[in-house]
Amino acid sequence: MIKTAQRVFILLTLVLLGSAHAFAGSDSKIQLSPVEVRATVPGMTASGGYVVIMNHSHIADRLVEVSADFAKKAEIHEMLNDNGVMKMRQRAGGIEIPAHGKVALKPGGLHLMFMGLAQTLNAGDELEVTLTFESGRVITVPATVKRPGEISSDGAHGEMKHGEGHDHSGHDHSGHDHSGQDHSGHGS
């Protein structure tokens, strides 16, 4: 006969072993949408990334670190209103994902920030981003580079209607906007 405590231990062990072999984008408790990364033009060295994080556990977790091999440095950013001017800065303490909760990182709000880009990020490029959680979970997810107009506002849908973004494709207003915010957020 196996005691309850032993049963729980065996179960936990199985869960932990299982998580090492989980599909990209999720383990048993944390589920991630594919990351959407904003396309850049030559000369841009920073870009934003967006993702939806779902916590199916009854214990809160916290996104504490992000990394990607296409960026020298990656941070978790938040937007704040500084006397009417939206700025962004690194979010101290990361982002809590409530138990049975969902947090969407999206344009204009919480986002992943990739700095020191080693290459121009062209729409359609397939990359990978690794997210680390306070619980010790380390999850690598596919990331697709998208034109600003193609990035889903709620981050939940991988594909958006076609046609909406084509006005922006050559000009990259949003990208310029974003790097401007980067200066105001971190500069002087």
Q: With CA atoms as reference, report the closest residue to 24 among 105, 133, 138.
A: 138
CB half-sphere exposure, 33, CA atoms < 13 A: 23
Under rule CB under 5 A, residue 77 binds Cu ion: yes
Q: With CA atoms as reference, report the closest residue to 71 among 34, 26, 125, 15.
A: 125
CB half-sphere exposure, 6, CA atoms < 13 A: 3
Q: Which of 76, 88, 143, 151 is in the footprint of Cu ion by CB under 5 A? A: 88
The residue (of 35 and 137) whose beta carbon lies closer to Cu ion is 35
Binding residues for Cu ion, how many (CB under 5 A)?
3
Instruction: Give the interface segment with Cu ion, choosing from 18-26, 27-35, 86-94, 130-138 (CB under 5 A).
Output: 86-94
The residue (of 131 and 137) whose beta carbon lies closer to Cu ion is 131
| Token digits of residue 1 | 């006969």
The phi and psi torsions of 176 (rounded to 5 degrees) equal -65, -45
Under rule CB under 5 A, residue 30 binds Cu ion: no
Instruction: Give the interface segment with Cu ion, choosing from 31-39, 88-96, 146-154, 155-163 (CB under 5 A).
Output: 88-96
Return d(Cα 51, Cα 154) in angstroms, integer: 9
Residue appearing with tokens 């594919």: 34
Instruction: Give the interface segment with Cu ion, choosing from 3-11, 72-80, 124-132, 160-168 (CB under 5 A).
Output: 72-80
- 138-146/111-117 β-pairing: unpaired
Q: What value does the CA radius of gyration of the chain take, rounded to a whole number of Å?
A: 18
Nearest approach, Cβ of residue 88 and Cu ion (Å): 4
Under rule CB under 5 A, residue 74 binds Cu ion: no
The residue (of 88 and 103) whose beta carbon lies closer to Cu ion is 88
Strand partners, 85: 82
Under rule CB under 5 A, residue 51 binds Cu ion: no
Under rule CB under 5 A, residue 110 binds Cu ion: no
Under rule CB under 5 A, residue 35 binds Cu ion: no
Residue type, 128: E
Under rule CB under 5 A, residue 113 binds Cu ion: yes
The residue (of 50 and 133) whose beta carbon lies closer to Cu ion is 50
Residues that bind Cu ion (CB under 5 A): 77, 88, 113
